[in-house]
């Protein structure tokens, strides 16, 4: 079996609504509040070899931005994905275009 296809996703959320919604899709996770709790959950998930994608709500990812960036630079896995919470996105409308331009140098 291909180990990449067996990797799991894990959610780190700041509200139970997001956790419940993703749990219905089969994604396990935790609800945390506060920077130290986020860091602990992030480090625990990053150490688990079965977890290939860690999903964080945008609000929580802002609390641990530097640590998450350092983890991204040290290893290819897990991938870190930021999602809006139930209150919507905190990003401006051009963030996807900017990310593509920064990542691959392509202007779209």
pLDDT tens-digit profile of 1-34? 455 567 899 999 998 988 998 899 999 999 999 9
- How many domains does the chain divide into? 1
pLDDT single digits (tens) 61-84 = 889 989 988 888 888 889 898 888
Alpha-carbon torsion (90, 94, 97, 99), positive or negative: negative
Count of other CB atoms within 10 angstroms of residue 4 = 8
Per the structure, the complete domain to which residue 90 belongs is given by: 3-104
- The CATH number that applies at residue 77 is 3.40.50.10580
What is the spatial distance between Cα 91 and Cα 86, in angstroms, rounded to a whole number? 14
Long-range contacts of 48-51 (CB under 8 A, 24+ apart): 48/10, 50/6, 50/7, 50/8, 51/7, 51/8, 51/9, 51/10, 51/78
The pLDDT of residue 3 is: 52
């Amino acid at each position: 079996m291909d180990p990449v296809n067996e990797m799991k996703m894990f959610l780190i959320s700041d509200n139970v609504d997001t956790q419940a919604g993703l749990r219905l899709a089969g994604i396990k996770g935790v609800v945390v509040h506060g920077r130290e709790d986020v860091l602990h959950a992030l480090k625990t998930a990053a150490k688990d070899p079965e977890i290939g994608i860690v999903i964080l709500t945008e609000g929580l990812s802002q609390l641990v931005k530097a640590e998450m960036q350092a983890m991204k630079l040290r290893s290819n896995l897990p991938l870190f994905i930021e999602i809006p919470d139930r209150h919507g996105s905190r990003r401006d409308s051009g963030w996807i275009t900017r990310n593509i331009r920064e990542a691959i140098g392509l202007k779209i």
